[in-house]
Amino acid sequence: MDTVLHDIRYALRTFANRPGFSSLAILTLALGIGPTTAVYSFVEGVLLRPLPYKDAGRLVRIGWTWKQYYASGRMAASPSLAEVRAWMAQSHSFERMSPHWGDSPVLTGLGAATRISAYTVSSNLFPLLGVQPILGRGFTAQDDHQGSAPTAVLSYNFWETSFGGDPRALGRSLTLDGVRLEIIGVMPAGFQFPVLPPGFASAGTDVWRSMGSLPEAFSPDGRDAAEVVARLGPGVTIGQAKADLDVVERR
């Protein structure tokens, strides 16, 4: 301890004698350590840490490569809903497949109008991820059909901040872009989809809404691109899944 104290006193005297150099050195270290720590936190959260879902090693994202996108003259690099439906009906490599769309609708009816983060999802998303609401229920196949009553599942944080964690929020409604949705469930604390790296929790999804809440103008003819997450079947490799989808595409 005597040696450590001596070194500290020596360092402080050096800083006092050369304040300009000391400030520059401290600033340089801060600029180096800060971004490095931020980048590592992002990489660790996104690439190194396992996804917080059941049997995450079998989860995949499905989409077109940029090479395929440019070669085909497609309007979007993500598949259309019609393509996703064909994959779901004709492929044999996946247990489940779930299309979803993210946007920032305007929330009204709960104080001042504000934009929130929302995802429109199919009914099999939560079972695919192995997570169920802690309150109420998730979406059913009926909720996927246009013309059905629009429904919504809240994130835990949104439920607490907007409804005070009141279980009586179930059955109430919220309005997104002028569409009234019935609240049918609340997801567990800490659950997010899509997954976010550490430090980005405040930017997470607030509400997941049913596909039945999509406007009637939404067309599955290829103009509306979806993101797709799927779960590989037991023992199925990425290569086998790609080959399977290639067969469907050739059809």
pLDDT (tens digit per residue) in 113-160: 999 999 999 999 999 999 999 999 999 999 988 788 999 999 999 999
pLDDT reading at 233 higher than 70: yes
pLDDT of 26 reads 82
Q: How much is the pTM?
A: 0.73
At residue 223 the predicted structure's pLDDT band, cuts being 50, 70 and 90, is: very low
Residue that is written with structure tokens 């999804």 in the block = 205
Strands 59-62 and 227-232, bridge-based pairing: antiparallel
In the chain, what percentage of residues exceed pLDDT 70? 83
Interval 173-213: pLDDT, tens: 999 999 999 999 999 998 999 876 555 555 689 999 998 87
pLDDT of 183 reads 97
Residues 6+ apart with CB under 8 A from 181: 150, 151, 152, 173, 174, 175, 207, 209, 210, 213
pLDDT of 207 reads 96
Residue 148 has a CB neighbour count (10 Å cut-off) of 15
pLDDT of 222 reads 44
Task: Choose between 233 and 48: higher pLDDT.
Answer: 233
Rounded Cα gap, residues 15 and 238, in angstroms: 58
CB 230 within 8 A of CB 83: no
Interval 18-27: pLDDT, tens: 888 777 888 8
Task: Choose between 81 and 118: higher pLDDT.
Answer: 118
pLDDT of 49 reads 57
Domain boundaries, the chain: 2-48, 56-213
pLDDT of 220 reads 46
Q: By mean pLDDT, which of 10-14, 105-109, 153-157 is the weakest?
A: 10-14
